[in-house]
Every structure is written in structure tokens, then in C-alpha cells.
A and B are shown apart, each in its own frame.
Chain A
């Protein structure tokens, strides 16, 4: 046999063998879709984890931003992508649990169109207040708001964002009425809070820290299950007597439904390894995000429960669909 025909034979053999071999996945770069703009906290976190994920997987991972419509455009894109395991998406409370109740025309079903790979983290909210407000913790705020109905103003980083949902949940759990003031992102909201034009706001530990250290704002409480290391004196919602107000913006990795289970398993294992590296754990601790060691059926159940919970809360709050 000539060398040429041997090569042809080899090529045919490989081509036939490829679909049967399970361990040749991944054989080309994985695209990690971040449904938010480049440079934000989700983007930088994705790039950091993607680095470790690529090492564990032995294949390049390319982070691509597909922002728009609160992240739902990116989810729509991935819902329609080939379910071959080469496209993965950063899913969140916003896009998977709240979006169906917030948007009129969502072109994906959060539960049916995606397969769970691995959870990432939960970022609890901080409930912050202007330094000169007369209340110093959640209970004092609730008591004050009961005596002065409708007087307290609460900032939102945008309608339908995590901070808005947290404030709805909080008002629902405590029964108090606050005047909601929506902003375009958290920067202008913090600006008004520091200047005393706004009373309280829901925020995240990352952006809260600098202003808390300088004394411009105080942290009344946190919405996570445990207190945060950075603000040891701020009580949780449960400690303050409002366990139903417990929440956190969670995130996880998903693939389009129909991805072969063996490929999902490979992704899950590699992601688990990546999340447990010191580099990723340190980076998450720095921004007070809590690692969620969860995958498979447990993760499916968690997402489904969150979806139910937020559907109820958003309906109760009477937020109009866009």
C-alpha cells in the first residue's frame, strides 16, 4: 500500500470512529457566552473561571459577550445553539427565574431549553442606608417605616434587576411600604445615597465596601443565609426576624437542552475542578460571593424552586411585563 492510500484509509477510519468515541470531547474550543457587557462583574468573573475551566478541560475556552435585554438575548442565542456541548451559558436568577415574569415575549423556556452543568455562586445583597438616617439595622428600619408609612425611599439599580427583586421581597416579607426610586445602574444610585438624596438601597458587597469604609453609608443588614465577613455586624434577614427576605443573586453554567449526557458530565467535572481551585475561591471570597457546590438533579430542583418563588413574588408586586 502506498503512503497516500494508507493516509486515506486512516482518514476514513478516523471519520468513522469519531462519533463513537466519547473521550474525544472536547476537541475544539468551547464558547462561553456571557449575556452581559464586557468588563462588568459577571464578565470578569467568567474570564477568571474560564481560565481554570480551560486548564481542567484541556481545551481553550473563549468568553464571548452577548448583552441585551437584561441578559435574555444571550440566553435566547444559546437556547437555539447546537446542543453539542461546545456552547455554554452563564445563567442567573434574573434570566432563568425572574425573566419569564418580567418579559412578554421571551423566546426561551428557562426549564425546558437548558440543561444544568454546575452552579457557580450566590451573591447576597447588602441593605445599605445614608449615614445620617435614624435607623441602624433592619429592625429599626422596619419600625421607622411602620411609623412613617411611605416616607423611606429605596433605590433600585433598574426595574427587574436583582436589587429591585430584593426590595420587593423585603417589602413583602416585612409588610412595610417604601417609595421605590429606579436608577440606570448602581453608580448613580450610590451617588444619590451618599449625598443623602436617597434613604436606603439594596446593593452588593463589592460596591458597598468602599463607601462603608469611608463612613458615607452604613450597612443595615445582609440578605444571605449567613453574615458576611466584610460586614460582621450586619445581621441577616433571618436574624432580624424576616427569614422570607433571604435571597442572593445566584449564577450557574448551563448548556442547550439535548446536549449528550456524557458531554454534560465532562463539563460538570471540569467545572467542579475549576471552581475548587484556590484562585477561584479566593477571588469569590474577595467579592463576598458564596460558592454553590451543586450540579445535576439538585441544581435542576433548585432552579425550578427559584422560578416558582420569583413568579409568585413578581406577581404579588404587580410589576408590569415589558
Chain B
């Protein structure tokens, strides 16, 4: 009973007073940081890392990890209430969360989010405990051709995200791809579309784009349409009104399960990230749904899928980070850096050399997720009351926080200008009824697709068959081809039926 012994060891570490306190501080701070728009886990952890220098390594990593997954819990709050994604991950939460809030179902949306996050998080912790080694082997088998094939599937999913005109959806994906070209080309080091601006050499930040397109544009719309803004000041904060109904639970069960699995699968791939997991889980639900037209108009299962997937992916990201020593994201790199400061050499041997740290961290995930559940459910009533703040007070405050968040990422005022610019662009897109979500996904996936496509060809010395001869990438591309074929087939059939009728 290795696993059992390990968990006993883990809990014996994690249940100590200092670890419990570290965990509590971490998840509370994380929730708070997540609620603030634009101030993501990365900024939060780097600001608070010096505080951990005097702690034991285990307490330090428990606290920093708590900030990380806590911020992903918290990130959905602003997304649901204000259409303001605190991070790219929670952009998907906006799609159905914000319409739910507009329909007066903000409490239900927040409650579902909290529970879905808990379920997704727990699913990945179980995976991490039982199957860390085989999962790492899977992650290792992902080379550039495999990543490329995955991004193609993701881009296909992107075009289904839009409601209404598919042409508009595809057009916005392309705009996202173009925005993704801005910056330094990884392969050659040449600057592209920076117009001589050195500030654009690192490309356009996803968070800045998301906050502008979703948050700032929403505020602009409400300013120009005060009638609509005034119509939602009555909020019922009784417990009954806030808990999802039996029917809503029934609708969400499948989404919760699928979201957990999709999140975990994508989460273990270094570099793929929670945002892509949420996007893909959401489009899978939409594809499977018998009423896809409800998506984007307050479908609770869409919200459930996105939230389970992003939290499941967030926890799963610890698998390659801890057992391989290879960070999948900047935030994970920061956590590894923290370990290094504490004299723990991250890498494949960390489980053997520091079992108390590894299993203590996993045990703390259970405790932290439970704390987040207990912490967030009673907070829902308070958050929902925030909607009662008059808009002429609330909006300037939010704009202030958006600018602060944009600036905090790299202490560069150019990012504030960019967020305003994207806000205006988002406003224009709303007037033209162009969907913003496909644009965002285009920006997430475009640079990844290009990087891996070119690296695949570089490593195969220009041989394009590498994409179909590798089993995983070949399989993924076959699925992508099937999706395209089935879409074409159904539309052809529909046209024939129309002709016949």
C-alpha cells in the first residue's frame, strides 16, 4: 500500500499548524488576487514570493501553490459578475456566466462555479496521486507534431464558439491569428508587425487583449445604453435562489465529468495550459448539446464545463512540473524557482529526495480545495451584492483596476494604452455583432500552431509527412478531418432536404 503510506506521510505534513496556516493564507490571497481583474497568479506569486523566504520549503510551496489555484477559483467571480476575465482562463467563464448574471442568476452561476472548480480540482489530484508516472510518459511523447495537431483541433473548436454567422466566427479566428503574429518570431528572431515599437517585441499580452475586448467594451456598451444598465439592480441573495436547481444539476452532470477529464488531459501537457482546456471543454459541450443555441445565453452546463476543465488543468499542471521538473507555464516556472531558493533541486528526483514535500503538497491540495469551497460559498452573497453598487461608482473603480492590472504585468504604461485600444475595438465589434471569443482563441493558438509547425518541419528536415506518420499527431489530425467532413456532410444534407421540401 504505497499510495496509502504516501498519503499518510502527506497529511502528517500538511495538517501541521504551520502548513494549514500557509495553505489558508495562500488560498485566501489567491481568491482575492483572482477577483482583481488582470492581476493573475503570476503577478500574485512573484509579489508574495519574498514572504516565503523564511518559511520551510514545504510551507512555502504549499502557500504559493495555494495562491495559484486559489486565483483560478477567484478569477471566475469578476468574469461572471462584470464580464471581466481576471485571466485568460476565465474568459470562457464569461460566455455563459455573464448572461446568467444578467438574467438574475448570478448566485447560481457563482455556486456552480465553486462546485465545478472543486470537482475538477479533486479529479486531477486523484490522478496525480495514482497515475503521475504513466501520465508523465504520455506528456513526454508530445513533441512538436503532436502539439501542432492539437492546436489544429483547438482552432476548429474556435470556429464553433461563435453564435450566429459561422463566417463571422472564422473571420474573428483569423483576426486573432494575425494579432498573434505581432512580436518577435521565435524561429528567426525577426520583429514582425511591431511598427518599430520596442514595447511590442514580446507580442500582445493575452490578458490585456481579454480585459479590453470583454471588460472595457462591456463598460462602454453600458455607458452608451444606460437603460439596460439600470435594469439589473435587484438581486435575490437568499440561499435558495443562489443554489442551482435539480434540473440545472441534471443538465450539468455530464459537463462536470467531461470537463474534468478534458482539463486533466490537456493540463498535463507542458505549455498547453488551462485556457485551452477550458475552450475545448466548452466547445465539446456545445457540440454534444441538443440545444446548442442556449450556449452563450446562460447555459449552466457551458459554465460547468469551462470551470471544471480549467481547475482540473490547473491542478494537473503540477504533474509534469513536480515529477519532471519541467514547468508548463510561467507560473509553474515561478513555483520551481521558489523551490530552488529553498535549496530543493526541482527535477525528476524530487519525489524520491523530498517525499515529505511532494506528498505534503498533494495533501495540501485536498485541504486547500476544501478551504476554497468553504471560503467561497458564503462569499457568493457578498459578491452578488456588488452588482447593487450604482454603475457610476462601480465602473470607474473597475476601469481603475483594469488599468492597474494591465500595468502590473510588466510595469509598462504601453499596456494601459493597449487595453484601452482593445476596449474600443471590442466596442466596435459589439456594434457589428462580431464575436470576441474566437479572436481570443486565435491569439492563444495561433502562435503555438506556428511555432510547432515550423519546429516540426525543422526537426524533420522539411519532411511534411511527419504530421501523419506519428501516431498521436496522425490520430488527432484524423479526428480534425472527421469533424470538418461531418460538418460539411450535415450542411450538404440539410441543403438537399431543403431542396426536396
Chain A positions within 8 Å of B, measured between CB atoms, are: 37-41, 43-44, 47-48, 64-70, 72-73, 76, 102-105, 107, 153, 158-160, 179, 181-185, 187-188, 190-192, 194-195, 197-198, 206, 209-211, 213-214, 216, 286-287, 319-320, 322
Q: How far is the CA of A197 from the CA of B347 in the complex (A)?
A: 19
Instruction: Give every chain B residue within 8 A of A39 (Cβ-Cβ).
Output: 42, 45-46, 49, 330, 333-334, 337-338
Instruction: Give every chain B residue within 8 A of A197 (Cβ-Cβ).
Output: 143-144, 459
Instruction: Give every chain A residue within 8 A of B350 (Cβ-Cβ).
Output: 210
Q: How far is the CA of A8 from the CA of B310 in the complex (A)?
A: 63
Q: How far is the CA of A312 from the CA of B131 in the complex (A)?
A: 51
Among the listed A47, A70, A153, which residue makes an inter-chain contact with B50, where contact means beta carbons less than 8 Å apart?
Answer: A47
| Interface-lining segment among B183-191, B230-238, B286-294, B425-433 | B183-191
- Taking a contact as CB atoms under 8 Å apart, the answer to whether A211 and B141 are in contact is no
- Distance to closest chain A CB from B56 (angstroms): 17
Query: Do A322 and B201 contact each other (CB < 8 Å), given the known contacts A39-B337, A44-B337, A286-B343?
Result: yes
Interface 0/1 of B24-64, CB less than 8 Å to A: 00000000000000000011011101100000000000000
Instruction: Give every chain B residue within 8 A of A68 (Cβ-Cβ).
Output: 198-199, 201-202, 410, 412
Instruction: Give every chain B residue within 8 A of A66 (Cβ-Cβ).
Output: 410-412
- Taking a contact as CB atoms under 8 Å apart, the answer to whether B184 and A322 are in contact is yes
Instruction: Give every chain A residue within 8 A of B328 (Cβ-Cβ).
Output: 187
Instruction: Give every chain B residue within 8 A of A72 (Cβ-Cβ).
Output: 198
- Taking a contact as CB atoms under 8 Å apart, the answer to whether A184 and B46 are in contact is no
Among the listed A47, A76, A192, A322, which residue makes an inter-chain contact with B190, where contact means beta carbons less than 8 Å apart?
Answer: A322
Instruction: Give every chain A residue within 8 A of B49 (Cβ-Cβ).
Output: 38-39, 44
CB-contacts of B129-149 with A (<8 A): 140-141, 143-144
Query: Do A43 and B46 contact each other (CB < 8 Å), given the known contacts A184-B451, A214-B347?
Result: yes
Q: How far is the CA of A41 from the CA of B333 in the complex (A)?
A: 10
Q: How far is the CA of A159 from the CA of B184 in the complex (A)?
A: 9
- Taking a contact as CB atoms under 8 Å apart, the answer to whether A159 and B189 are in contact is yes
Query: Do A159 and B412 contact each other (CB < 8 Å), given the known contacts A188-B271, A195-B140?
Result: no
Among the listed A44, A181, A319, which residue makes an inter-chain contact with B189, where contact means beta carbons less than 8 Å apart?
Answer: A319
Q: How far is the CA of A68 from the CA of B47 in the complex (A)?
A: 18
Among the listed A40, A159, A183, which residue makes an inter-chain contact with B188, where contact means beta carbons less than 8 Å apart?
Answer: A159
Among the listed A44, A76, A159, A320, which residue makes an inter-chain contact with B186, where contact means beta carbons less than 8 Å apart?
Answer: A159
- Taking a contact as CB atoms under 8 Å apart, the answer to whether A192 and B143 are in contact is yes
- Taking a contact as CB atoms under 8 Å apart, the answer to whether A191 and B451 are in contact is no
- Taking a contact as CB atoms under 8 Å apart, the answer to whether B347 and A69 are in contact is no
Instruction: Give every chain B residue within 8 A of A287 (Cβ-Cβ).
Output: 340
* Smallest Cβ-Cβ distance to A64: which chain B residue: B411
Q: How far is the CA of A17 from the CA of B223 in the complex (A)?
A: 55
Instruction: Give every chain A residue within 8 A of B240 (Cβ-Cβ).
Output: none
- Taking a contact as CB atoms under 8 Å apart, the answer to whether B347 and A102 are in contact is no
- Taking a contact as CB atoms under 8 Å apart, the answer to whether B459 and A181 are in contact is yes
Interface 0/1 of B134-177, CB less than 8 Å to A: 00000011011000000000000000000000000000000000
**Is B385 close to A, CB under 8 A?**
no
Instruction: Give every chain A residue within 8 A of B349 (Cβ-Cβ).
Output: 210, 213-214
CB-contacts of B330-350 with A (<8 A): 330, 333-334, 337-338, 340-341, 343, 345-350
- Taking a contact as CB atoms under 8 Å apart, the answer to whether A210 and B186 are in contact is no
* Smallest Cβ-Cβ distance to B332: which chain A residue: A187
Q: How far is the CA of A158 from the CA of B201 in the complex (A)?
A: 13
Query: Do A210 and B348 contact each other (CB < 8 Å), given the known contacts A187-B327, A195-B141, A322-B201?
Result: yes
Among the listed B189, B202, B270, B451, which residue makes an inter-chain contact with A320, where contact means beta carbons less than 8 Å apart?
Answer: B189
**Is B325 close to A, CB under 8 A?**
yes
- Distance to closest chain B CB from A96 (angstroms): 16
Instruction: Other than A182-B186, A190-B326, give 13 A-B pairs with Cβ distance below 8 A.
Output: A39-B45, A40-B333, A73-B198, A159-B187, A181-B455, A181-B459, A185-B333, A188-B326, A209-B345, A210-B325, A211-B347, A214-B348, A320-B190
Among the listed A37, A47, A105, A153, which residue makes an inter-chain contact with B330, where contact means beta carbons less than 8 Å apart?
Answer: A37
- Taking a contact as CB atoms under 8 Å apart, the answer to whether A181 and B186 are in contact is no
- Taking a contact as CB atoms under 8 Å apart, the answer to whether A322 and B412 are in contact is no
- Distance to closest chain A CB from B338 (angstroms): 8
Instruction: Give every chain B residue within 8 A of A194 (Cβ-Cβ).
Output: 140, 324, 326
Q: How far is the CA of A105 from the CA of B191 in the complex (A)?
A: 11
Q: How far is the CA of A130 from the CA of B199 in the complex (A)?
A: 37
- Taking a contact as CB atoms under 8 Å apart, the answer to whether B202 and A69 are in contact is yes
Q: How far is the CA of A216 from the CA of B324 in the complex (A)?
A: 10
* Smallest Cβ-Cβ distance to B189: which chain A residue: A159
- Taking a contact as CB atoms under 8 Å apart, the answer to whether B188 and A105 are in contact is no
Q: How far is the CA of A278 from the CA of B330 in the complex (A)?
A: 30
Instruction: Give every chain A residue within 8 A of B333 (Cβ-Cβ).
Output: 39-40, 185, 187
